[in-house]
Amino acid sequence: MRASWSVWARSWPRPSVCWRRFPKRTRRWSRKQGAAARKVAKLHAEIRRQHLDHHHKTANALIREHDVIGYERLNQRA
């Protein structure tokens, strides 16, 4: 059930690479800069969805394995 993150990471273009072409000092974004911003946002959204999916699957597997899950709040400050 454990996924290999390195295999997924190699298939993605790095989000920072899209921004390197454009200097920060420009005031208005050109069409290419807008496209680069959308591309970066799309990559970040894909990564976010995969992280959420991984956490959801891990939590479900934990719930299926155990009958009872106890949660205790310890007062460590006092």
- Global pTM? 0.52
Cβ atoms within 10 Å of 2's Cβ, excluding its own: 6
Q: How confident is the model over 34-71, as pLDDT tens digits?
A: 899 999 999 999 999 999 999 999 999 999 999 888 88
Percent of all residues in the chain with a pLDDT value above 90, rounded to a whole number: 38
The pLDDT of residue 33 is 87
| CA atoms within a 13 Å half-sphere pointing along the CA-CB vector of 68 | 3
Evaluate whether 7 touches 49 at the Cβ level (below 8 Å): no
